[in-house]
Amino acid sequence: MSIRIDAEPEAVTAERASTALLIIDMQRDFLEPGGFGESLGNDVSRLAAAIAPCQAVLATARAAGLLVIHTREGHRPDLTDCPPAKWERGLPGRRIGDPGPMGRILIRGEAGHDIVPALAPAPGEVVLDKPGKGAFCETDLDLILRNRGIRTLLVCGVTTEVCVNTTVREANDRGFRCVVLADCCGSYFPDFHAAGLAMIKAQGGIFGWVSDSAAVVRALA
């Protein structure tokens, strides 16, 4: 069954069966105080606005039977998968692997690494752990999408200019069509959020389309 989603630079048409919802890194470590986002010097309260629109899209995608994939950025407890160039980021004593109020920062299995409760994965949904910013880097995302015949990704998550943009760029080069939902994304920097979205839809949609939660709910209802 075809769906048509209002978007920029123009509406996008896709097949329901080949469309997946990809929710990137809606983790406590990025959205709540005491985690990785705050350790980098950021005001984490800026990301909360994305939660409710993500919930609306997630509920709609579940009802429509779309493949749902949640990603989590994080590392093994022994940090063997954390490049030194990445570990060096953040305030000393509050780097990846250091103890914080939500457990060790950005470490798999710790409370801060969990997805926020409002967007908790349901049984049967894919939860994909990734060591990098892009969701394809050193993961089996490409394999999963191809095995399920996915061609179009509805993309939500944080942060707009870091993990969302990196993933969308990687997805484009692998041949996937990306529809980024503006109100379902968030950044610690409003200017970067706006620029990150503008870069996707510029030049006739060089990396895909920009839409929003209401348009997806309308299209899938």
Q: Which residues bind ligand TIU (CB under 6 A)?
A: 25, 30, 40, 73, 133, 158-159, 162-163, 188
CA distances from 107 to 27, 70, 98, 195 (A): 11, 16, 9, 30
The catalytically annotated residue of 29, 54, 82, 130 is 130
Marked catalytic residue, from 163, 178, 184, 185: 163
Taking the complex as a whole, how short is the minimal distance between the CB of residue 103 and ligand TIU, in angstroms?
17
CA distance 95 to 86: 9
Structure tokens given for 118: 């409002």
Of 196 and 208, nearer to ligand TIU (C-beta) is: 196
**Residue 29 annotated among the catalytic residues of the structure:** no
Question: Measured from the CB atom, is 60 or 159 closer to ligand TIU?
Answer: 159
Q: Which is nearer to ligand TIU, 44 or 219 (CB)?
A: 44
Continuous H helices in 116-189: 141-147, 165-173
CA angle 183, 139, 37 (to 5 degrees): 45
Minimum separation from the CB atom of position 26 to ligand TIU (A): 9
Cβ-based nearer residue to ligand TIU, 23 or 210 = 23
Residue where the block lists tokens 């049967």: 124
CA 215 – CA 168 distance, rounded (Å): 19
Q: How far apart are CA 158 and CA 154, in angstroms?
A: 14
133 a catalytic residue: no
Please indicate whether residue 25 is annotated as part of the active site. Answer: yes
CB of 162 to ligand TIU, least distance (A): 3
Catalytic residues: 25, 130, 163
